[in-house]
Amino acid sequence: MPDEAPARPRMEMPAPEAFGLSSAPSLPTAVAGRSLANQTIQITAVNWTVVREELHRLGAKSFHVEQLNDGRHRFACKVAKSTGQTDLVEVFGQSEEEAVRVGLERANAIRYGS
């Protein structure tokens, strides 16, 4: 009868929290002193691949996106007009998605004169 191998101790992986990580992103619980407990939080994402393709199609020379201190977002880009001159498009929105969407619409109007 062969000798039985001793039982190996079970290996366990520590939880992400043990390394200072969280398993899900945490959302803020207050904004400027106001509780978010009774507010709906809308999370939208911008598909930057599609945005960059559209900016390339429009002949944009550069673009910039930033979140302002008041929570609004600013989208700006430089677009070449059909005359060859470059025009600045600057849009402010309540969300990043809104600012980018409206900015691309304006850039399209400048580029193609619609």
DSSP strand E in 36-108: where? Answer: 60-67, 73-80, 86-93
* Per-residue pLDDT tens over the stretch 4-29: 777 777 767 666 666 665 555 444 44
* Per-residue pLDDT tens over the stretch 72-88: 999 999 998 878 788 99
What's the rounded Cα separation, in Å, for the pair 52 and 74?
16
For domain 48-112, say whether CATH 3.20.20.70 is its number. Answer: no
What's the rounded Cα separation, in Å, for the pair 55 and 63?
8
Domain boundaries, the chain: 48-112
What's the rounded Cα separation, in Å, for the pair 1 and 57?
76
What's the rounded Cα separation, in Å, for the pair 95 and 72?
6
Query: Whole-model pTM above 0.75?
Result: no
